[in-house]
Amino acid sequence: MTRPLTSVLVANRGEIACRILRTARRLGMRTVAVYSEADRASLHVALADEAYPIGPAPALDSYLRIDRIVEAASRAGADCLHPGYGFLSEHPGLAEACAEAGIVFVGPPAAAIRAMGLKHRAKELVAAAGVPIVPGYQGEDQDSDHLRAEADTIGYPLLIKAVAGGGGKGIRRVDAPTAFAEALESARREATSAFGNAQVLLERYVPNPRHIEVQVFCDAQGGAVHLFERDCSLQRRHQKVIEEAPAPGMTAAVRAAMGQAALGAARAVDYVGAGTVEFIVAGDQALTPESFWFMEMNTRLQVEHPVTEAITGLDLVAWQFKVAAGEPLPASQDDLRIEGHAIEARLYAEDPAAGFLPSTGQLHVLRLPEAVRVDTGLRAGDVVGPHYDPLIAKLIAHGPTRAEAIARLHQALEATRVAGPRTNLAFLRRLTASEAVQAGRYDTALIERQRDRLAEFPSDIDPACIGLGVLALLGFEPRSMEGRTASPWDCADGFQLGAPRRQLWPLRIDGRRDEVILVWPDPGARGLPEVRYRGKACPTHAAEDRMIEVVPTGCGILVLHGGRQINLQAPDPAEVASAQTAQAGDVTAPMHGRIVAVHVAPGDCVTRGQRLGTIEAMKMEHTLTAPADGTVRTVTAEPGLQVAEGASLFTLTQAESE
């Protein structure tokens, strides 16, 4: 029985909310958004016909509140509710609450979500349906000693995985029995924070694995199709960063076998709607019908769904609305074809050189390319805060061949400009240009193996970046300075007889103290001061030729060059004085977050690399370690404490040998 859908509430935020709203508007539906206090002025609110507040910034008080979201849908008179991905998209309670309120849930039945939501139960179900699974333990006995015994039986290396997990959260690789207890504790803690469920499963680690997933769609009449596969093997911290379709090296026989296995998993739970069945594939051998195993099923739309849309020419969100309305699938399996190749890159506010820690701040510049599809929920001037996923945008390139699609994506990344939070832009440029990606020979560990080369910037900075940035700090604008007379008052302390005035000028470059020398023109002479850095003159012209952009931020200057942001600041005298008394062993918070564990106390002797504490940001845990051997002098970190980036948490007195 069909039910026309004329209005929708999107129970999400950011780029996925914007993406759903655009399709809904194209279909002529009235659109309703919800927002937290932090998102009052966000893009998804501006795109919707109506918007309702649902609580404070923390997701637990807003986007994870089923009662407030369903109440907003009822107040708005929405026919249906689309959950997007993340947040409540795989929570059966939301589907049930919608049913009770007479609102159509644009997703699978609550029973299917519940069945596939716990990884251990899902494996049992699909194994019974004949789908191959990775050997491991997914039992109910969660006693630590029992889990350790099961791990010894499975053998190392292995993975500890949250049964309610997703997005790379609650996953730990363990290479030896001695590391099992600590990894189990950390995985449980992260799983509890992210999903409210500490239960884990154990899974044999497949060496050099690939991650290939299949998009499935089912309707209420029993129809089911797969929309081919995506390769999502390029990951960091168990989270995807680049996805492509079709998968490199895929054959017709393997595609058919994998597609049938995916449909078998969906039919095992009477699935309806869009879903993704994820497989782990042996990466050290050619693809065969026997070389893949079921990992999990995501009962929602995936972040990477645009690459499937690109190669099929379909709008998967439009399909979701049709199936939710009770209509049959718009196409049969025989109707579906792969056209060309597509690849997607996720642009994140994060610092690859610091282990991909999330970064926050205002987007002073955000210019995204027009030559490829871009999905985003942000605009220049918006703020990337600490409460939600740090995704800035997704860039999706499509071409007749894989090589052309990658080339178009790389060109799009070269044309992208971001200033504000640290980003993975330069990392993505290097990754897409790498030999392994170009050849299509990679696995889930590629980024970790090549992390130093992909994530680290060269220590040398183009002198032109320093020269142009320093002039901007001084209030000069090089493009409009030709013919200007430098005033003697432009230099406060550079007077000297018989030679050009020279001034030693301190500044901070990416947070570290440094200095330049300013050589000023004679009084009355025309021109800019010369900037010298580390004994060399810095060019202060041809910024466009060098693809250098200078961006004032209100508290300094950001210089954009080669996907890199260089932060220049004139240090405050009080800051300089306090820095002189700072402890060499000061351990600070690498980002905004919450302290979840403290492992040391004042007076403890520690060794270099030893755990001091654990901080959580965006539901991911990060370990704080001792920078050198020494003794803990002070501990300001406390479990549950919210801290800002740069906050001092531990100070150490270093051992005399240091």
Backbone angles phi, psi at 40, to 5 degrees: -55, -40
Give the list of residues 6+ apart from residue 292 with CB closer than 8 angstroms, or none.
132, 212, 254, 257, 258, 261, 279, 280, 281, 282
How far is Cα 183 from Cα 139, in angstroms, rounded to an integer?
18
Is residue 204 part of the annotated active site? The answer reads no
Give the list of residues 6+ apart from residue 510 with CB closer than 8 angstroms, or none.
566, 567
> What angle do the packed helices 402-415 and 425-433 form, to 10 degrees?
150
Q: What is the largest CA-CA distance in the chain?
A: 94
Q: Are 168 and 239 in contact (CB under 8 A)?
A: yes
Backbone angles phi, psi at 486, to 5 degrees: -70, 125
Give the list of residues 6+ apart from residue 545 with CB closer than 8 angstroms, or none.
none
How far is Cα 297 from Cα 300, in angstroms, rounded to an integer?
9
Give the list of residues 6+ apart from residue 573 with CB closer than 8 angstroms, or none.
none
Q: Residues 74-79: contacts with CB within 8 Å, 24+ apart?
A: 74/101, 74/103, 76/7, 76/9, 76/32, 76/50, 76/52, 77/7, 78/7, 78/8, 78/9, 78/30, 78/32, 78/103, 79/3, 79/4, 79/5, 79/6, 79/7, 79/8, 79/103, 79/104
Which residue among 65, 300, 373, 430 is the active-site one? 300
Would you name the residues annotated as active-site residues? 300
